[in-house]
Every structure is written in structure tokens, then in C-alpha cells.
């Protein structure tokens, strides 16, 4: 089937989509946007987090057809040109990235938090990132990065 | 596989009548996991996320009705004050991303014994509204769960909305799991005080083949609670309540916990949740007086 999605501001048309495949598959395999990661395909790790119509969702749990006509914003759509978004910059500056697999999802989740709650408390940060797993950093640097982004 | 995209409830019901084997998909947080892991290959998916009626809600003085496909995040934000028990349970579902998509209709459709909204729906006398091209039915939550992952829906029916009384007293929900997020309940418990009827509703989850009400424990509360001049509950009464709740459970041993642990934990959850709810009621009465 054919699916039309606006991805990072650009209207995209995708053909030969299998109706049971996920938005994550469409983004990575059909549109060449490998930023959103595929780590569990069951909603547990959050590494596939993208905005859909402004709401963070696990792209692995959205059926491709459900994204028809929707606006999707992936981690690739956060920076403006060569200038990183403040959340991305803070992850770099705080050393919140090790293997980097969880980073795109965490960046989108943190970006959403700071959009809704510009000065989050620590419990608010933890709650907002509860759906994102990191196997490397132990989270401390990630929390630092979000605090840093909130200040910048 | 076909992907059906109705844009109205009428169209959705017609499609379901013509293709009863089509699997409804709302938030997809259960369905997509099954598809991604090849556990299910339905002939068709019936997408409910474009049916506006299913994501609306309304309320009058005493009753709230919300669409089956209303995501948890909106339920919490928009109806949390009227439905505090359901909001507490909804906040424990998965993670923010899961709550942004997942729905009570999906929880009911999946009918897992561990689904977090079930105990609250039972304790709060919720009614599940279902519809097909043949007509509509109202199914009390207490008649909706038929077995492990089995519910009272006919193949051509969809859940349209959930209707429940606005809270008239404190409500609580508690669940046991290994962390505060992303946890399938090891066991769960809900209590809703109904001061207007001088009684309380209570129910358990993840502790029997279906979520279930705990009638004996409810009856016990009818005997011991004085709604007119509410007193502090003696520990012995809270403990007895916990025992009665645990005795209604028929849990199994599985990877998440043993049957014995579940019974023990349920008694603790029930004792505590009763304490929280009753103390809040007494507090409210005192500030009204
Ligand atoms: C990472 C993760 C964590 C989770 N954590 C929890 C948790 O803590 N607690 C919990 O209870 N659940 C949890 N779940 C399970 C799931 O999120 C819930 O059951 C949720 O309520 C399902 O809603 P949905 O709209 O996504 O359902 P869907 O996946 O769209 O559908 C679920 C089932 O219901 C049917 N269905 C959906 N809508 C209707 C309708 N209107 N009429 C008829 N049938 C319908 C579908 O056909 C399917 O069989 C979790 C899932 C994931 C992936
Ligand atoms: S890949 Fe989607 S949540 Fe893990
Ligand atoms: S940096 Fe490796 S998983 Fe988070």
C-alpha cells in the first residue's frame, strides 16, 4: 500500500508498504532515516521515539498506515542545519553518550519534556525518561544533560 | 494483509461486520508487539485512530463517558479529577510513550488479567459500551472478563466507550512490580469508596484468570465502615480486609512472582489502599463539617 507522511517538514510518499509494518521500519528502511533506532520492537526501550503530530511515541508500535497524513519529526529533524538542538548539544557537552544507541530516543523524549516543562524537577526528568533504556551510562550523565539543556 | 481505515464509527462497524476477522488497532501497543514478533498475522487490521467519535468524552453531573480510543495521557489530563482511580492506574501503565498511544479500549480488548485499568473499572461500576452493525449493548465490567485474554465481545463488535460514575469519594489503585515504570503488574488492587451508597467497591488484578471483584471483602466494609461519623479504622479491620481480598485470589506461579507471594502482596496492598482511601474520606468529612 501507499503511505503519505510528512517527515521532518517534508512530504514523503512511500510505496509497497506492507500493512503490518511499523512506522519505524518505514523511517529506517524505506526513507533512509536511521536516526531512530530499533532495539526491541516492543515498546520497552524507547530508542525509536519520534514525534507524531507533536506527541512522542514509539515508532515501532505505530502501524505504517496509522501514520498516513500525520506529521512525524525524528531526531534528524531537531537540529537546524549544522547547529545542534540544545538537547543534542547538552548530551555532547555532558558526556551523556557512550555507545549512542539509546541517544536518539532520549534526545526526543528530553526535547518533548523541555517543550512542555522548561524547568523540570529531577523527579519530572526521571518520569519523562522512564520509557527510555540506556545500557551504558548509568543515566547520571543523561540527567546532567537534561539539566544542562534546561539551563541553556 | 489489508489495512482498513474507517473515518466514522458507522463505517468502522460496517467494515467489522463485513470482515469480523479484522483485528482492531487503536494505540497498537499490544497489537504491534504481536505483529513485530510474528505472533499474529491477521488478514486485516482495522485502524480506529481516525474515528473521531472514539476519542471523545462527555460528562454530566454524575456520569463520565469516554471513547474507547482515548489515549491514557488525555484521560489522565482531561478526566483525572472526575475519575481519580482510573487516572492513578493509567499513570502506572508503561511509559510516557506508551500512555501517549495506549487506550482503555485496548486494555479491554486485550483483556489480560494483568491489565491495569480492569480493577478500577470493576471497583467503580464501569459499563463497557459495545456496538456492531446490529446494534449496541451495555456490558457491566463485572460481566466483561470471561477468561485469560477473553472478553464478552462478539466477533463483529467494537468497544465504543466506557461509562462510569464520577467519583463521589476517594479512590485508590496500587500495583506491585519491579520498578515504577514499564511494569506488568505482579498483582494489583483497586478500591473506590461510594459514600453516596454507603459502600465501597474493590477488585484485584493479575491474581486470577480474570480481573475480579472481591465481594466478601466489599461486604465486610459495608459492615465495619461508619459513613456518617467516620472513625479511624482499627488495624485489625484493615488486616481482616486484606485477608478477605487475598482469599478471593487464585493466582498462579509464574516468572513475575509465586502464587504465595501474590496473595501476601495483595493483602498488604489492600490494607494500605483501604487506609489511604478511608483516611482521605475522613479528612474530607472533617473539612466539610
Ligand atoms: C512497553 C509496554 C508496556 C506496557 N505496560 C502496560 C502496563 O503497565 N499496564 C497495562 O495494563 N498494559 C501495559 N501494556 C499493554 C498495553 O499498553 C495496554 O493493554 C493498552 O491499554 C493497550 O491499548 P492500545 O490502544 O494500544 O491497544 P491495541 O494494541 O490497539 O489493541 C489491543 C487489543 O484490543 C483490541 N481493541 C483495541 N481497541 C478496540 C476497540 N475499540 N474495540 C474492540 N477491540 C479493540 C485490539 O484488537 C487488540 O486485540 C504495555 C505495553 C507495552 C508495549
Ligand atoms: S524499538 Fe521501539 S521501543 Fe524499543
Ligand atoms: S549510551 Fe549505550 S545504550 Fe545508552
User: What is the model's pTM?
Assistant: 0.97
| Claim to verify: residue A71 and residue A91 sit in the same structural domain | no
How buried is residue B254: exposed, middle or buried, by Cβ count under 10 Å (0-12/13-18/19+)? Answer: exposed
Closest residue in chain B to residue A44, using alpha carbons only: B182
For cell 480481573, name the residue. B211
The residue among A76, A109, A133 that closes a domain is A76
Other CB atoms within 10 Å distance of the CB of residue B116: 29
Q: Please report the pLDDT score of residue B69 as a whole number.
A: 98
User: How long is chain A?
Assistant: 152
Determine, yes or no, domain membership for A81: no
Instruction: Identify which of A61, A63, A128 has the shortest CB distance to residue B45.
Output: A63
Quick one: which H or E segment has residue B207?
A: none
For the segment A52-67, the average pLDDT, to the nearest whole number, is 98
User: How far A142 CA sits from the closest chain B CA (Å)?
Assistant: 17
Domain containing A29 equals 3-76
CATH code of A140's domain: 1.10.150.120
| Claim to verify: residue A64 and residue A91 sit in the same structural domain | no
Instruction: Identify which of A49, A60, A65 has the shortest CB distance to residue B47.
Output: A65
Cβ <8 Å between A128 and B96: yes
Query: Distance between CA atoms of B283 and B260, rounded to whole angstroms?
Result: 35
Query: Distance between CA atoms of B163 and B142, rounded to whole angstroms?
Result: 13
| Claim to verify: residue A17 and residue A67 sit in the same structural domain | yes
Q: Please report the pLDDT score of residue B289 as a whole number.
A: 60
User: CATH classification of B2-165, choosing from 3.40.47.10, 3.30.465.10, 3.40.50.720, 3.90.1150.10?
Assistant: 3.30.465.10
| Claim to verify: residue A71 and residue A14 sit in the same structural domain | yes
How far away, in angstroms, is B251 Cα from ligand 1 center? 22
- Regarding the beta carbon of A43 and ligand 1, being less than 6 Å apart is answered yes
| Secondary structure class of B26 (helix, strand, coil) | coil
CATH code of A32's domain: 3.10.20.30
**Contact indicator for B71, B101 with CB cutoff of 8 Å:** yes
User: CATH classification of B171-288, choosing from 3.30.390.50, 3.10.20.310, 3.10.580.10, 3.40.50.720?
Assistant: 3.30.390.50
Query: Distance between CA atoms of B144 and B210, rounded to whole angstroms?
Result: 10
**Considering only CB atoms, which chain B residues are within 8 Å of A40?**
none
Which of B6, B15, B26 is the pocket-test mutation for ligand 1 (most atoms within 8 Å of CB)? B26
Contacts with B84 (C-beta within 8 Å, 6 or more apart), sequence order? B167, B170, B171
Query: Distance between CA atoms of B58 and B56, rounded to whole angstroms?
Result: 7
**Contact indicator for B229, B159 with CB cutoff of 8 Å:** no
For the segment A35-52, the average pLDDT, to the nearest whole number, is 97
The residue among A76, A98, A131 that closes a domain is A76
Determine, yes or no, domain membership for A60: yes
Query: Distance between CA atoms of B68 and B47, rounded to whole angstroms?
Result: 13
User: How far A94 CA sits from the closest chain B CA (Å)?
Assistant: 24
| Claim to verify: residue A33 and residue A96 sit in the same structural domain | no
| Claim to verify: residue A65 and residue A97 sit in the same structural domain | no
Which of A91, A95, A100 is the pocket-test mutation for ligand 3 (most atoms within 8 Å of CB)? A100
| Claim to verify: residue A69 and residue A96 sit in the same structural domain | no
Per residue of chain B (289 residues), what is the pLDDT tens digit? 999 999 999 999 999 999 999 999 999 999 999 999 999 999 999 999 999 999 999 999 999 999 999 999 999 999 999 999 999 999 999 999 999 999 999 999 999 999 999 999 999 999 999 999 999 999 999 999 999 999 999 999 999 999 999 999 999 999 999 988 899 999 999 999 999 999 999 999 999 999 999 999 999 999 999 999 999 999 999 999 999 999 999 999 998 999 999 999 999 999 999 999 999 999 998 887 6
Q: Please report the pLDDT score of residue A146 as a whole number.
A: 98
Domain with CATH 3.30.390.50 in chain B: 171-288
**Considering only CB atoms, which chain A residues are within 8 Å of B25?**
63, 66
CA atoms in the 13 A half-sphere facing the CB of A70:
22
Contacts with B33 (C-beta within 8 Å, 6 or more apart), sequence order? A41, A42, A43, A61, B39
Which-ligand-closest: CA of B28? 1
**Contact indicator for B27, B47 with CB cutoff of 8 Å:** no
For this complex, say whether ipTM is above 0.95. Answer: yes
What's the N-to-C CA distance of chain A in angstroms? 44
Give the confidence band of A57 by pLDDT, cuts at 50, 70, 90. very high
Q: Tally the domains of chain A.
A: 2
| Secondary structure class of B138 (helix, strand, coil) | strand
Determine, yes or no, domain membership for A116: yes
Q: Please report the pLDDT score of residue B50 as a whole number.
A: 98
Interface test with A, best of B19, B29, B36, B77 (most A CBs within 10 A): B36
| Claim to verify: residue A32 and residue A91 sit in the same structural domain | no
Q: Are strands B2-4 and B44-47 parallel, antiparallel or unpaired?
A: parallel
Instruction: Identify which of B2, B5, B98 has the shortest CB distance to residue A43.
Output: B98
What pLDDT digit, counting tens, does each position of A63-104 carry?
A: 999 999 999 999 999 999 999 999 999 999 999 999 999 999
Q: Please report the pLDDT score of residue B72 as a whole number.
A: 98
| Secondary structure class of B225 (helix, strand, coil) | coil
Domain with CATH 3.30.465.10 in chain B: 2-165
**Contact indicator for B94, B181 with CB cutoff of 8 Å:** yes
- Nearest alpha carbon to residue B187 among B260, B83, B84: B260
- Left, alpha or beta for A43 (phi > 0: left; psi -120 to 50: alpha)? left
For the segment A56-67, the average pLDDT, to the nearest whole number, is 98
| Claim to verify: residue A71 and residue A93 sit in the same structural domain | no
Amino acid at each position: 500500500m501507499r503511505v503519505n507522511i510528512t517527515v521532518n517538514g517534508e512530504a514523503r510518499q512511500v510505496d509497497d508498504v506492507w500493512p503490518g509494518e511499523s512506522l519505524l521500519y518505514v523511517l529506517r528502511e524505506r526513507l533512509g532515516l536511521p536516526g531512530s533506532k530499533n532495539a526491541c520492537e516492543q515498546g520497552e526501550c524507547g530508542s525509536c521515539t519520534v514525534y507524531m503530530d507533536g506527541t512522542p511515541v514509539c515508532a515501532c508500535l505505530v502501524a505504517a498506515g496509522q501514520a498516513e497524513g500525520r506529521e512525524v519529526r525524528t531526531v534528524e529533524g531537531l537540529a537546524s542545519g549544522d547547529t545542534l538542538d540544545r538537547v543534542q548539544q547538552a548530551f555532547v557537552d555532558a558526556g551523556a553518550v557512550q555507545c549512542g544507541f539509546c541517544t536518539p530516543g532520549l534526545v526526543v523524549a528530553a526535547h518533548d519534556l523541555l517543550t512542555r516543562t522548561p524547568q523540570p524537577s529531577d523527579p519530572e526528568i526521571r518520569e519523562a525518561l522512564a520509557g527510555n533504556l540506556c545500557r551504558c551510562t548509568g543515566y547520571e550523565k543523561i540527567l546532567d544533560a537534561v539539566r544542562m539543556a534546561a539551563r541553556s | 494483509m489489508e489495512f482498513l481505515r474507517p473515518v466514522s464509527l458507522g463505517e468502522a462497524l460496517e467494515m467489522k461486520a463485513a470482515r469480523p476477522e479484522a483485528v482492531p488497532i487503536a494505540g497498537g501497543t499490544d497489537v504491534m508487539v504481536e505483529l513485530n514478533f510474528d505472533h499474529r498475522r491477521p488478514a486485516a487490521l482495522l485502524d480506529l485512530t481516525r474515528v473521531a467519535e472514539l476519542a471523545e468524552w462527555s460528562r454530566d453531573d454524575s456520569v463520565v463517558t469516554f471513547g474507547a480510543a482515548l489515549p491514557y495521557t488525555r484521560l489522565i489530563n482531561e478526566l483525572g479529577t472526575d475519575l481519580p482511580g482510573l487516572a492513578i492506574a493509567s499513570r502506572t501503565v508503561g511509559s510516557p510513550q506508551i500512555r501517549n498511544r495506549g487506550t482503555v479500549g485496548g486494555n479491554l480488548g486485550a483483556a489480560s488479567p494483568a491489565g491495569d485499568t480492569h480493577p478500577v473499572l470493576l471497583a467503580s461500576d464501569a459499563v463497557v459500551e459495545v456496538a456492531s452493525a446490529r446494534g449496541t449493548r451495555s456490558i457491566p465490567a463485572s460481566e466483561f472478563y470471561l477468561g485469560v485474554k477473553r472478553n464478552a465481545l462478539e466477533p463483529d463488535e467494537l468497544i465504543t466507550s466506557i461509562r462510569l460514575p464520577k467519583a463521589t469519594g476517594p479512590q485508590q489503585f496500587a500495583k506491585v512490580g519491579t520498578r515504577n515504570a514499564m511494569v506488568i503488574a505482579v498483582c494489583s488492587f483497586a478500591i473506590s469508596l461510594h459514600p453516596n451508597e454507603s459502600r465501597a467497591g474493590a477488585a484485584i488484578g493479575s491474581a486470577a484468570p480474570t480481573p475480579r471483584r472481591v465481594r466478601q471483602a466489599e461486604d465486610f466494609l459495608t459492615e465495619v465502615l461508619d459513613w456518617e461519623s467516620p472513625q479511624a479504622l482499627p488495624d485489625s479491620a484493615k488486616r481482616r480486609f486484606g485477608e478477605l481480598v487475598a482469599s478471593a485470589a487464585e493466582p498462579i506461579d509464574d516468572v513475575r512472582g509465586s502464587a504465595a507471594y501474590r496473595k501476601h502482596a495483595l493483602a498488604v496492598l489492600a490494607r494500605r489502599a483501604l487506609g489511604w482511601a478511608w483516611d482521605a474520606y475522613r479528612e474530607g468529612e472533617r473539612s466539610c463539617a
